[in-house]
Amino acid sequence: ENKKKAGRTSKAAMFVLPHTNQNHRLWTLLLILLVSTAIPTESIALMNDYSLPLETLASSATSFASAHGVQVEKKHKDDPSRSYFECAPISLLPNAYPASAFTQAQTVAPAFNLLVDTISRRSDFLEETLRGVVTADPYTKKLLDLYNEIYVNEKTKSKFALSADRLGIHRSDYMLHKEGGDYVIKQVELNTIAASFACLSTRVASLHRHLVQRYSSSLDEFMSTNKNAVLARTTTASLKETDGVPENPAMSRLAYAMKVTYDRYQSRFRGDRDKPPLAILFVVQEGESNTVDQRLLEFQVWEDFSIPVVRRSLTQLSEMATVDEKTGALMIDNGRFEVALVYFRAGYAPTDYPDGDDGVEWQARALLETSRATKCPSLGYHLAGTKKVQQALARPGVLESMYSSDSSEDDIANMRKAFAGLYALGSDATEEDYTAVKDVLTNGQQAKYVLKPQREGGGYNFYGDKLLQKLQDNAKVQDDGSVELNPKLGEYILMERLFPPNQKAILLRSGRIEGSGDSISELGCFGTILVTSEGDSVLHNEYAGFLLRTKFSGVDEGGVASGFATLSSPFLCSE
């Protein structure tokens, strides 16, 4: 516990702000009391002068957040049928981020969207790439089996699924990593199913703009310190008028992508018919805590475009969803609604299918996939976002093989620049991959890597000594220097660990100050794409907003919903 809290202050700590003579004596007395209960931390050195109590700033932040829906849903311990809402985990202030790196992440978003679509139609590539994974991972095997059954196998494939358009709502996550003296973006992962927090992040950006503008004179020194940290400069750079939190269009752009998809379905299949009502289906988890993020998108879709959204779980859909045998129309609630778009906010983990391979949840997933409704994502898009595909694309020539013309050279170069070191642990492992394994087992360099399974949602990765133990149990370096890998490792990839710059942060959880200290951040860029069923026409493709997650340095995992990180915003900085 002490190790986890090292480097941060207690909840009672005051914020680092410029000195004022008028309040100096009061703050000195308070500091004496506070230090007696504070956890020792390097950040104390930054907290020697005060003009604004931290609690005042935190109160303003939590009030603004709650008033604007930055909340998560909780269940009462004594009565799980009753819910209440509390402030979502947030960083009190935005985190400094190089404007050039942010622009790079924005620019490459449409290219990654197109790449996902291309991969989704390359059944041979998916089959070959995931061969080692499916022998060790039943969940990925089930996804691939369904994909082949519905889209590939001549005897079983669904003509309605093949006729459906494809909508992608993706989020490519990046960490800053030092190269040649500057911090550049390196891709952590590409999320193609249930990419969350677009809407809460939109509201958090508004919160941070409000705080920075309202308390600008008190915050300049703090923000300048963080700016210098992320620009990797030894000389001090002051804030510029252009520095600040950008507008976050995520909530409105995701809603717009759904509207384009809805309109396309209407024109293709419905004409002038208005009955039964046409709706968008949100497939959600039972007991979901991130309901506000989902509801905000639902409300945006209705307020902007008057399109109804229906929320159902896979279990509910197993009882109330049908596909018309003649038309492929997906009907729910005993025919009350026809579904134009199926948007998955569930189904991304084995725990979403508690009844097993033949259970009602998988039956519902297959039923939805075989309809003519647009899926977000389709099974192909889902598989394209696996860690193993990410690792395979980083191999020399593989990314390039996805393109047939020279017109994509710039996109390829920009995507490849963002790749981190990625290594295979299956039957396709090469000498380069074996070298990385030996680096851990022989050289004790486990701190340089992360071991990742094919899972979404946070909390599944192996770091440090746990990574070392996992490889020791499943890999062996022979006397001649060769490496023997257990086939069970085929479901994992080994990734270069990224080391973003540390900067000061104050984090809030459950509406209260969790602590302050050194922190690191991870940027997510949303992208949306709509492609026709034949893949011959891209109807919509754009960058669609951002997410920034911040956690204390030394915390390995990075999920917000899984309790490791907080929602933040980038404070864009330039030289």
Give the bridge partners for 172, in sequence order.
190, 525
Q: Examine residue 249 and say whether the peptide bond preceding it is cis (omega within 30 degrees of 0).
A: no
Is 191 among the catalytic positions?
A: yes
Cα torsion 386, 389, 394, 400 to 10°: value is -130
Q: Is 326 annotated as a binding residue?
A: no
Fill in the DSSP letter of residue 110: H
Is residue 294 a known part of a binding site? yes
Is 363 annotated as contributing to ligand binding?
Answer: no
149 labelled catalytic: no
Name the token pair of 573: 């900085």
Active site residue 240: no
Task: Please name the amino acid found at residue 35.
Answer: V
Residue 504 annotated in active site? no
Active site residue 456: yes
189 an active-site residue? yes
141 annotated to bind ligand? no
Check 69, 359, 421, 457 and give the catalytic one: 457
Residue 13: both structure tokens together:
């700590």
Contact call for residues 492 and 478 (beta carbons, < 8 A)? no
Helix (H) or strand (E) holding 226: helix 216-230
Catalytic residue among 142, 166, 171, 253: 171
Half-sphere exposure of 449 (CA within 13 A, CB side): 29
Query: Does 452 count as an annotated binding residue?
Result: yes
* 461 in a known ligand binding site: yes
Q: Choose, from 8, 113, 172, 189, the residue flagged as catalytic.
A: 189
- The answer on whether 522 is annotated among ligand-binding residues is yes
551 is in an annotated binding site: yes
- Residue 179 has φ and ψ, to the nearest 5°, of -140, 120
Is 319 considered catalytic here? no
Catalytic residue selected from 298, 369, 456, 491? 456
> Is 549 marked active-site?
yes
Question: Using CA atoms, how far apart are residues 452 and 187, in angstroms rounded to an integer?
Answer: 14
- Which residue is it, tokens 């062996």? 476
- Chain mean position to CA 431: 31
350 prior amide bond cis, ω within 30: no
361 is in an annotated binding site: no
Q: Which position among 191, 201, 502, 541 bears the catalytic label?
A: 191
Q: Beginning with the edge strand found earlier in the chain, give each strand of the sheet holding 449-452 in spatial order.
A: 422-424, 493-496, 449-452
457 annotated as belonging to a binding site for a ligand: yes
Token pair recorded at residue 448: 């340089």
Please choose, from the candidates 507, 559, 542, the residue with its C-alpha nearest in 3D space to the C-alpha of residue 43.
507
Question: Is residue 253 marked as binding?
Answer: no
285 in a labelled binding site: no
Question: Hey, which residues are catalytic here?
Answer: 171, 189, 191, 196, 387, 452, 456-457, 549
Please state the residue numbers annotated as binding site for substrate.
294, 549
Please state the residue numbers annotated as binding site for ATP.
387, 452-461, 463, 522, 551, 557
Please state the residue numbers annotated as binding site.
294, 387, 452-461, 463, 522, 549, 551, 557
Please state the residue numbers annotated as binding site for Mg(2+).
456
